[in-house]
Amino acid sequence: MKYKSQQIAYWFFALCILLFALQITYGFIMGFARIGWDGLHDIIPFNTARAVHTNLLVVWLLSGFMGAAYYIIPEEAQRELVSVKLAFVQFFSLALVGVIAIVGYHFNYWEGRKFLEIPRELDYLVVVNVLLFLGLILTTLFKGKRQTTTAMVLSMGLLFAALLYLPGMIWFDSQVMDSFFRWWVVHLWVEGVWELIMGGILAFLLIKLTGVDREVIEKWLYVIVGLTFLSGVLGTGHHYYYIGVNKIWLVVGGIFSALEPLAFLGMALFAVYMYRKGEKKHPNKLALFWTIGSAIVSFIGAGLLGFAHTLPQTNLYTHGTLVTAMHGHYAFWGAYAMIVLAIISYSVPNMTGRKRFDKTAGHMAFWLSNIGMLGMVVALGVAGVVQVYLERRLKMDFMVAQEETKIHFVVMLLCATLFTVGIVMYMYEFIRYGKPSDEALEPAA
Amino acid sequence: MLSKSQARAFFLGGTVVTFLIFIGLTIYSFAPKNDQTNRDKLTAEVAKGKRIWESNNCMGCHTILGEGAYYAPELTKVVERRGEPFIRAVLQSPVPWAPNGRKMVAYAMNDEDTEAVIAYLKWIGEIDLNGFDRVVSPLSKGEKQ
């Protein structure tokens, strides 16, 4: 670690880990409810558990992105963060908004719009919070000694993510328009600007871990984020096939979303190629595992599994089924959860000065969580196919078809247990590292 | 070989062009002649139904227009499938409705709110969904796929 102010990232990462643990807990509540064990229904009905599960994911990933930015931007800009105090204010307000939202969901305090359940009053607080965050990051960047492509792409991703939150705050009487603009936020986040953030973090990690020349890495970063937007923006059309808008989206969405895997393929090839080209001297192999793993799993989860149901002819039957949940789990895990876990694995040893990255627990965490998640995704995929076939093709009643999926949720819960063991080991390692220390600061060159 | 500035131009150029096309297509989609939602039938009661739908996070279990949580049935064609008296009974039930043991929250809704939700579901049921309406409609049973 070169700058003391980078230590603020640690607190965002700690919040990440805490919220991730809670997210998994609510995932189990949902999984058990699906096999008929819904003893918590009166306190935490499925819709509450679901809103908490997905919103915690969004908040912990955002907390991870923010932590990553606080760690990366000072190092890239070669100066301290403009204000650590304000960064702490931003941290506590983020945690506060998150806690109020999550508690509120248990008392019907929500907007009830998938992924954007945060009630309107809290939306304004989110806007203020993100403006403060962006102010700190961008001021640091532009006051810095250099503005690297990596830092610019990361900051641009964060800025666009904030701007794209706004269309989700417009009120529509029409469910169709509501859905249409909700996807401006959700799709253009996860299949657009978040990929910029992921690309920025990935480029930073590859520069640090492989030792490959920055110019080469950053050139390919532009190509990848270029491919992302070229396919992802018009690829939004795959959400518009069957929600009540013009048929033109069947053509536009079909073509461009079929191209979306290219960006993820580019990302995977880029990471693997840079690793092979690099010196392989960096001792933090665990961070490298998470980094390369993220690029590869995101290609499978977001790219290939997304493609599996993105064509209009397939999506006509899979739209609104568990097939979406299958794709969603692996895509979010690979593209965003793993890249956040990668930057944590890279930066925490640097912030604390403790080099525990060759510990068995850390490696077990990587493999168990990945194998567990793969199992969960296969179980969800089978359940999805069963649902599509029975309900959409054979026209069986919804609940009759659901009965047939129960066994797949038993398998999913078993795999989720394996996944959780991996994540608990990751958390154990995080705790064992302890807090950041000034002794970890590298002497000024 | 591609230079860094060419790569940057590809990124910026591609982004601007696709965003402009995207905005153009959005405007085209909502032009009155392309409306597939019977916008003129979207009454204040339908809008009220939508607010009740959202304030109870119905999408947290059900799906509508294929969007939601896949824990409870797709409701796009529910009025056609179940009829109004059935829906009224479910919404007004003081105890959790539990088909095959899977529980729904008991809303014990009053008459006014119930009618608003039904109006909303009816409006949804009449939208032209480019073929998806047939997939989720029971009336297509036996129809050639």
Taking residues A23-34, what's their average pLDDT? 98
- Give the nearest chain B residue to A177 (CA atoms): B30
Taking residues B64-83, what's their average pLDDT? 95
Helix (H) / strand (E) element for A153: namely helix A149-163
Tens digit of pLDDT for each residue in A211-237?
999 999 999 999 999 999 999 999 999
Answer whether B66 touches A (CB < 8 Å): yes
Average pLDDT over chain A, rounded to an integer: 96
Query: Residue B25, SS3?
Result: helix
DSSP letter for B64, please: E
Nearest of A415, A386, A414, A413 to residue A402 by alpha carbon: A386
Indicate whether A443 pLDDT > 90. no
CB A51 within 8 A of CB B60: yes
Answer whether A236 touches B (CB < 8 Å): yes
Which residues fall within 8 angstroms of residue B2, CB to CB, at 6 or more apart?
A219, A223
Answer whether A111 touches B (CB < 8 Å): yes
Tens digit of pLDDT for each residue in A145-189?
999 999 999 999 999 999 999 999 999 999 999 999 999 999 999
Nearest of A27, A17, A22, A19 to residue A376 by alpha carbon: A27
Answer whether A247 touches B (CB < 8 Å): yes
Contact B18 A252 (CB under 8 A): no
- Give the CA diameter of chain A: 70
Q: Residue A75 is encoded by which pair of tokens?
A: 């190092």
CB A205 within 8 A of CB A346: yes
Domain locations in chain A?
A: 1-142, 359-435
Nearest of A432, A424, A417, A286 to residue A352 by alpha carbon: A432
Question: What residues of chain B lie within 8 A of the CB of A117, using their CB?
Answer: 57, 60
Q: Is the dihedral of CA B67, B70, B72, B77 positive or negative?
A: positive
Tens digit of pLDDT for each residue in A258-309?
999 999 999 999 999 999 999 888 999 999 999 999 999 999 999 999 999 9
Contact A395 B3 (CB under 8 A): no
Residues of A (173-202) whose Cβ lies below 8 Å from B: 173-180
Tens digit of pLDDT for each residue in B75-127?
999 999 999 999 999 999 999 999 889 999 999 999 999 999 999 999 999 99
Residues of B (87-116) whose Cβ lies below 8 Å from A: 96, 99-103, 105
d(Cα A320, Cα A130) in Å, to the nearest integer? Answer: 32
Q: Looking at CA atoms only, how far is residue A88 from chain B in angstroms?
A: 33
Q: Looking at CA atoms only, how far is residue A10 from chain B in angstroms?
A: 32
- Which residue in the block uniquely carries the two structure tokens 């760690």? A71
Nearest of B121, B92, B117, B120 to residue B104 by alpha carbon: B92
- Other CB atoms within a 10 A radius of the CB of residue A360 amount to 8
Contact A233 B18 (CB under 8 A): yes
- In this predicted complex, what is the ipTM? 0.95
d(Cα B138, Cα B20) in Å, to the nearest integer? Answer: 40
CB A416 within 8 A of CB A441: no
Answer whether A248 touches B (CB < 8 Å): yes
Question: What residues of chain A lie within 8 A of the CB of B74, using their CB?
Answer: 320, 398
Indicate whether B145 pLDDT > 90. no
Query: Poorest-confidence range of A112-121, A249-258, A382-391?
Result: A112-121
Residues of A (43-82) whose Cβ lies below 8 Å from B: 45-48, 50-51
Answer whether B139 touches A (CB < 8 Å): no
Question: Which residue type occupies A182?
Answer: R
Q: How many CB pairs under 8 A join A and B?
A: 196
Banded pLDDT at A389 (limits 50, 70, 90)? very high
Question: What residues of chain B lie within 8 A of the CB of A215, using their CB?
Answer: 4
CB A425 within 8 A of CB A361: yes
